[in-house]
């Protein structure tokens, strides 16, 4: 769902403008910083490309700063770049051979199929088209694998699912997602689980039952799979009578988010493996809405939420160590 691209910072202004306007976590495209001084080169190129056109320069600078602010750049910890070569394609080719990019954006020449000029930056081109949804088996590993490209570049992870089951294996997707997301370059610094207690539903667990299930699953059954220093904050919300249930499931990070159609409860029943789970990137508007609802660091965070379709309130939190 999320792919890495490289761009020649010395592209002409039309290529730069058209390319930069189509990046973003929600679009499934992020830009790799290669070589290491890429940001400096790109900003210098923006001013050079715009020339004396102040309007064009301001547009390009605004796009560049938005990419910085929203984390649309990724810095590979080890990259191979050969500045001795004559063309940008030849300079970046060693890194592309080591770890392929989805596409290489430049003004040409088109030495490889994945080279994209300004005329190729459209969905009809298979190297530019990105499907922002992915259909996977409802297993812990498949869900984690689909989310990993976003998780690996993020430091915060909020796991939101009201319907976890009774047994430790129902929570198997959580350690799988954390394992797939946690990497040396950007280790996870904050992980939270948000789930729901329904006081008016006798078939659902009470608060103590939810707490016991999660503590046993993550504190005992799966503890060995989690980073030793990681503490997981668990938040329990309560639905309010005569309103719709808290139903949607999300994986939110500090950079963007994904929705999960059937949820993260994978269960121990083999029949669930036959279910298809749709994972999709959230639009900026929906991501910000959900982040404001659940992220305590958000300025809009509230301990009771009425979104118009659901009404629920925060009732308890605890830590799994």
Pairing assessment for the beta strands 103-105 and 115-116 based on DSSP bridges: parallel
User: Does pLDDT of 312 surpass 70?
Assistant: no
Contact predicate 171/222, CB 8 Å: yes
Domain boundaries in the chain? Answer: 3-116, 133-320
User: Does pLDDT of 314 surpass 80?
Assistant: no
| Exposure class string for 214-232: b at 16+ Cβ within 10 A, else e | bbebbeebbeeebeeebeb
Angle, alpha carbons 77-23-18 (nearest 5°):
125
What does R_g of the chain's alpha carbons equal in angstroms? 22
Residue bearing tokens 């059937």: 262
Kindly state the average pLDDT of the residues 271-277: 70
- % the chain with pLDDT above 70: 87
Residue 31, Cβ density class (10 Å: 0-12 exposed, 13-18 middle, ≥19 buried): buried
Residue bearing tokens 């939270």: 192
At 77, give phi and psi (nearest 5°): -60, -35
Are both 3-116 and 133-320 of the same fold? no
Those residues whose C-beta lies under 8 Å from the C-beta of residue 132, and which sit 6 or more positions away, are: 1, 26, 27, 28, 280, 281
Say what the pLDDT of residue 308 is. Answer: 46
Contact predicate 100/3, CB 8 Å: no
CATH code for residues 3-116: 3.40.50
> Would you put residue 234 in left (φ > 0), alpha (ψ -120 to 50) or beta?
beta
Angle, alpha carbons 115-152-305 (nearest 5°):
115
User: Does pLDDT of 189 surpass 90?
Assistant: yes
Lowest mean pLDDT among 102-111, 211-220, 291-300: 291-300
Query: How does pLDDT run across 15-59, given as a tens digit for each residue?
Result: 888 998 899 999 999 999 888 788 888 888 877 776 777 887 888
Contact predicate 26/252, CB 8 Å: no
Say what the pLDDT of residue 113 is. Answer: 92
Confidence of residue 279 (pLDDT cuts 50, 70, 90): very high
CATH architecture of 133-320: 2-Layer Sandwich (3.30)
Terminal-residue alpha carbon distance, the chain: 32
Extended beta strands in 188-230, E state: 190-197
**pTM score, whole prediction:** 0.86
User: Does pLDDT of 157 surpass 80?
Assistant: yes
At 54, give phi and psi (nearest 5°): -65, -35
User: Does pLDDT of 309 surpass 50?
Assistant: no
User: Does pLDDT of 277 surpass 50?
Assistant: yes
State the average pLDDT for the chain.
84
Those residues whose C-beta lies under 8 Å from the C-beta of residue 42, and which sit 6 or more positions away, are: 7, 9, 64
């Amino acid at each position: 769902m999320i792919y890495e691209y490289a761009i020649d910072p010395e592209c002409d202004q039309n290529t730069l403008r058209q390319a930069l306007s189509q990046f973003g976590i929600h679009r499934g495209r992020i830009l790799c910083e290669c070589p290491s001084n890429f940001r400096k080169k790109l900003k210098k190129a923006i001013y050079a490309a715009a020339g004396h056109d102040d309007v064009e320069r301001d547009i390009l600078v605004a796009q560049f700063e938005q990419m910085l602010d929203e984390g649309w750049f990724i810095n590979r910890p080890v990259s191979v770049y050969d500045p001795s070569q004559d063309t940008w394609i030849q300079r970046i080719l060693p890194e592309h051979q080591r770890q392929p990019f989805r596409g290489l954006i430049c003004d040409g020449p088109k030495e490889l199929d994945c080279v994209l000029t300004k005329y190729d930056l459209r969905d009809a081109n298979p190297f530019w088209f990105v499907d922002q949804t992915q259909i996977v088996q409802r297993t812990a590993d498949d869900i984690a694998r689909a989310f990993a490209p976003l998780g690996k570049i993020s430091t915060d992870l909020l796991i939101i699912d009201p319907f976890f089951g009774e047994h430790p294996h129902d929570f198997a997707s959580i350690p799988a997602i954390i394992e797939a997301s946690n990497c040396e370059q950007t280790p996870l610094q904050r992980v939270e689980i948000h789930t729901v207690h329904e006081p008016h539903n006798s078939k659902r667990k009470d608060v103590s039952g939810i707490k016991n299930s999660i503590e046993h699953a993550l504190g005992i059954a799966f503890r060995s799979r989690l980073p030793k220093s990681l503490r997981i904050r668990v938040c329990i919300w309560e639905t309010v009578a005569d309103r719709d249930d808290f139903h949607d499931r999300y994986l939110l990070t500090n950079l963007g988010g994904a929705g999960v159609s059937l949820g993260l409860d994978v269960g121990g029943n083999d029949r669930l493996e036959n279910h298809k789970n749709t994972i999709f990137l959230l639009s900026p508007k929906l991501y910000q809405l959900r982040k404001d609802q659940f992220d305590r660091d958000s300025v809009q965070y509230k301990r009771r939420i009425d979104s118009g379709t659901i009404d629920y309130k925060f009732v308890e939190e605890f830590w799994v160590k």
